[in-house]
Amino acid sequence: MEYRRIIIGDREIKVPDKLFALGLVPIILVALGLWLATGIYVVGPDEVGVIRTFGEATRVAQSGLNWHFPYPIEVVNTPKVTEVKRIEIGFRTVGKQGYRKYDRESLMLTGDENIVDAEIIVQYKIKDPQNYLFNFVKPEVTVREAAEASLRTTIGQHRIDEALTDGKFIIQEETKELLQVILDKYESGIQIVAVQLQAVSPPQEVVAAFKDVASAKEDKNRMINQAEGYRNDVIPKARGEAQAQIEEAQGYMEARIKRAEGDAAKFKAVLKEYRKAEGVTETRLYLETMEEILPNIRKYIIPDEKSGNLINLLNLGGEGGSK
């Protein structure tokens, strides 16, 4: 069977020669049906369909089977809006394990006028497919240049110590925010997902000097830690000894007070008994005093018949003890 090739819309279709023998109307109807059939298209689950009518974006189609007026009336673009794209600044990944350095992108000035070598990875996706498709010819180039400019601006606002040590997370977040502001200002239709500092280091020419500085800082921190450890050991001991002395003094004070109170109570008790019987109390006090000052001498106590008082005889040659 012989065919004739005809152009319908933007497609080339083979039509059997027998169809032309039926007349012009059937040919027109068949051609019209084939032309309308070319407007059928499928939007994937990770895509959206952007329909352009005579070159102007008019509507957006969701995933599934859809139809639009065929070319040249309408044309559809189906960008992947859920796909996360990746841009590398300062280096390029070559193959599975390859790595190529781009010093022109990675070398930049810090806020304290030092040079640092910084590499980042930018991840982004499409949030507005119409702006993404029609506002830029090469969106990837725009993202790359805006990301490099944002990183240079952020690094220029921080000291080199922050970029090399504990300020990396802050630099990442500030770069991400600044990059998103720039892309929104351009109406790029791009959403920045993440900005990750891949590597931050001093230039190769001054690596040795930076290592010496880092070593000196480590020695400084080590000495500070040792001093703090000594302080933390000595101060608690001193405080403990001071507290022990305070408690000992308080105990001594309380003991003296209790003893004085006891002596006062004893004196009051003796005074009370003395007032009841002065002679007996005097005699008892006298005997107790003699026993205290002559503890190891045998003593004989006899009454004085005339005066009624007791007379203490000392046996200087006898054994110790009282009787």
- For 221-260, how does the pLDDT look when each residue is reduced to its tens digit (9 = 90+)? 889 999 999 999 999 999 999 999 999 999 999 999 999 9
Q: Kindly tell me if the per-residue pLDDT of 318 is higher than 50.
A: no
Average pLDDT over residues 278-291: 77
CB 78 within 8 Å of CB 48? yes
Q: Domain boundaries in the chain?
A: 3-77, 85-202, 206-276, 277-323
**CA dist., res. 172 & res. 198, Å (int):** 10
Residue 87: count of CB within 10 angstroms of its CB: 18
Res 273: pLDDT: 75
CB 60 within 8 Å of CB 68? no
CB 113 within 8 Å of CB 157? no
Residue 122 vs residue 308, higher pLDDT:
122
Residue 66's pLDDT band, with cuts at 50, 70 and 90, is: confident
In terms of CATH, what superfamily is 85-202? Answer: Band 7 domain (3.30.479.30)
Res 7: pLDDT: 65
- For 182-192, how does the pLDDT look when each residue is reduced to its tens digit (9 = 90+)? 999 988 899 99
pTM, two decimals, is 0.55
Query: H-type helices in 67-203, by residue range?
Result: 103-106, 129-134, 139-155, 160-164, 168-185
